[in-house]
Amino acid sequence: MSNSTPGLCWFEIATTDFDRAKTFYEALLGAPVERMEMGPVTMGFLPRVEGATTGAIVQSDDNTPSTDGVTVYFSGGDDLTDALNRVEPAGGTILVPKTEIGEGFGFFALFLDTEGNRIGLHSEA
């Protein structure tokens, strides 16, 4: 894909309690979230995986957590069960358990993070 071709390059997940969200996403993803202050905005850069789009958790006056709109899906690795099993102990709520998509598209699950955002997981198995 060339730089002039449209495509997903970044996402932001709104938070109202940055430290709570940081703790949740570190538990979910099993990796540190790097905090950065940018004026009135607090960002937490999510772990970067080679070849994958990444993003940040963001606390600012302009961002509001939501269950409506776009759903961000994280890779669940080889089997999303491991990541899904970390959702509730970290303070999230499972909305849709591991579910087969069918026709060889793998599996998905949906959950609410600690901030009230609807987030997804996807895996091939």
> At 92, which CATH number?
3.10.180.10
Q: How far is CA 115 from CA 2, 79, 102, 118, in A?
A: 35, 25, 30, 9
Residue 2 has pLDDT above 80, yes or no: no
pLDDT one-digit tens code per residue, 70-91: 999 999 999 999 999 999 999 9
Give the residue-averaged pLDDT of 45-59.
Answer: 93
Neighbours of 56 (CB within 10 A): 20
Q: Which domain holds residue 90?
A: 10-123
Does the residue 3 lie in any domain?
no
pLDDT of residue 67: 94
58 — pLDDT class (breaks 50, 70, 90) = very high
Does the residue 69 lie in any domain?
yes
| Count of domains for the chain | 1
Does the residue 97 lie in any domain?
yes
Does the residue 2 lie in any domain?
no
Does the residue 61 lie in any domain?
yes
pLDDT of residue 16: 96
pLDDT of residue 3: 62
Residue 28 has pLDDT above 90, yes or no: yes
Q: If you count them, how many residues does the chain have?
A: 125
Strands 10-14 and 54-59: parallel
Helical spans, DSSP H, in the chain: 18-29, 81-87
Does the residue 4 lie in any domain?
no
pLDDT of residue 5: 75
